[in-house]
């Protein structure tokens, strides 16, 4: 018997990213952050540049959001807004430490010609809102509030599927679930309520499921272009699954940013759709 591995097609993407110029761990708003552990700023910048250059080498555009002093988490650009079909919803951060990042994102989108809506309810952008197919999967429970999902549905103009997160280590949807293609995802079932697990199984019966070990190294915080999947080099199990499913795992090394609780996906805000791209 032969098994066929689906062939996967990459589409060109456009991302917004913010260099880790002021990155530091100065407060604790997720269990990964320990302010007593020093951050090596030069290593953080090197690792971030490698991530950016890897995306560019794969043919993607990466635009720059200027970093602002005293906003050490601004490197995690994914949290500043959601962009779906060219519609932009600017975040409203749950923690006051990150709140001013929203204005920087709003200003960037305005000068780039978008007409952003600013969220009124706690909403952490693409950390918790992930477009897939014709839907947007949304996380709540730890950062983004459940009523914010309805606000996003209005602003983004797409049906939003609500999922509830339960484990503080996986505080954003993009730490527990990654969109791989228009109809495939990978996720860590233990990070969601039983009801959300039922929803995910019904929508994605063939999804890749992460083990405890792959989730614990933030392996799900991955960026996919439909074919290449950038994920931490430590997620060996997921890399093997991705390979078996016809994806090309691209290992990345971001240990300094992991001290802030982030991986490759947190560092890029996808400007959806890419120019000329279908979506």
Q: List active site positions.
A: 172, 266
Q: Out of 92, 164, 172, 259, which residue is the one contacting ligand ARG (CB under 6 A)?
A: 172
Q: How many helices (H) and strands (E) does the chain have?
A: 7, 15
Cα–Cα nearest to 257, from 64, 18, 16, 15: 18
- Token pair in block for residue 178: 């990654």
Contact between 260 and ligand ARG by CB under 6 A: the answer reads yes
- The stretch near ligand ARG (CB under 6 A) out of 46-54, 129-137, 167-175, 247-255 is 167-175
Q: Which two tokens stand for residue 65?
A: 């959001």
Count interface residues toward ligand ARG (CB under 6 A).
16
With binding defined as CB under 6 A, does residue 19 bind ligand ARG?
no
Pairwise CA distance, residues 248 & 113, whole Å: 34
76 binds ligand ARG per the rule CB under 6 A: yes
Q: How far is the CB of 2 from ligand ARG (least distance, A)?
A: 39
Selected from 16, 39, 71, 73, the binder of ligand ARG by CB under 6 A is 73
**Site pattern 91..120 for ligand ARG (x: CB under 6 A):** -------x----------------------
Residue 95 CA from chain centroid, whole number = 18
Selected binder of ligand ARG within 123, 145, 162, 175 (CB under 6 A)? 175
Alpha-carbon Rg for the chain in angstroms? 17
- Out of 19, 116, 127, 219, the only residue in the binding site for ligand ARG (CB under 6 A) is 127
Q: Are strands 129-132 and 135-140 parallel, antiparallel or unpaired?
A: antiparallel
Distance CA 230, CA 238 (A): 11
Position 178 contacts ligand ARG (CB under 6 A): no
- Measured CA to CA, the distance from residue 171 to residue 176 in angstroms comes to 8
Compute the Cα dihedral for 236, 240, 245, 250 and give only its sign.
positive
| Residue 273 interacts with ligand ARG (CB under 6 A): yes or no | no
**Residue in 177, 266, 268, 271 binding ligand ARG, rule: CB under 6 A:** 266
List Cβ<8 Å contacts ≥24 apart for 150-154: 151/89, 151/119, 151/120, 151/121, 151/123, 152/82, 152/89, 152/119, 152/123
Which residue shows structure tokens 């309810």?
Answer: 121
Sole window of 54-62, 63-71, 75-83, 192-200 interacting with ligand ARG (rule: CB under 6 A): 75-83
Q: Which residues bind to ligand ARG, rule: CB under 6 A?
A: 29-30, 33, 73, 76, 78-79, 98, 127, 172, 174-175, 260-262, 266
């Amino acid at each position: 018997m032969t098994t066929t591995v689906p062939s996967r097609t990459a589409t060109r993407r456009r991302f917004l990213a913010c260099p880790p110029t002021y990155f530091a761990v100065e407060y604790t708003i997720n269990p990964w952050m320990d302010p007593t552990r020093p951050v090596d700023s030069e290593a953080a910048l090197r690792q971030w540049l490698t991530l950016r250059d890897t995306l560019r080498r794969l043919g993607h555009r990466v635009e720059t959001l200027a970093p602002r002093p005293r906003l050490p988490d601004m490197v995690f650009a994914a949290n500043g807004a959601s962009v779906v079909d060219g519609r932009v919803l600017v975040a409203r951060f749950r923690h006051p430490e990150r709140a001013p990042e929203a204005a920087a994102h709003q200003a960037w989108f305005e000068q780039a010609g978008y007409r952003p809506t600013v969220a009124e309810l706690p909403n952490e952008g693409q950390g918790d809102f992930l477009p897939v197919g014709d839907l947007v999967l949304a996380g709540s429970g730890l950062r983004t509030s459940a009523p914010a999902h309805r606000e996003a549905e209005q602003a983004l103009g797409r049906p939003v599927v609500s999922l509830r997160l339960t484990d503080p280590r996986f505080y954003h949807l993009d730490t527990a679930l990654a969109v791989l293609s228009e109809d495939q995802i990978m996720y860590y079932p233990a990070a969601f309520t039983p009801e959300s697990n039922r929803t995910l199984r019904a929508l994605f019966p063939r999804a890749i499921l992460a083990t405890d070990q792959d989730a614990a190294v933030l392996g799900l915080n991955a960026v996919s272009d439909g074919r290449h999947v950038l994920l931490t080099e430590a997620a060996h199990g997921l890399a093997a699954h991705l390979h078996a499913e016809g994806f090309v795992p691209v290992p990345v090394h971001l240990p300094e940013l992991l001290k802030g609780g982030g991986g490759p996906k947190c560092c890029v805000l996808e400007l959806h759709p890419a120019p000329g791209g279908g979506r």
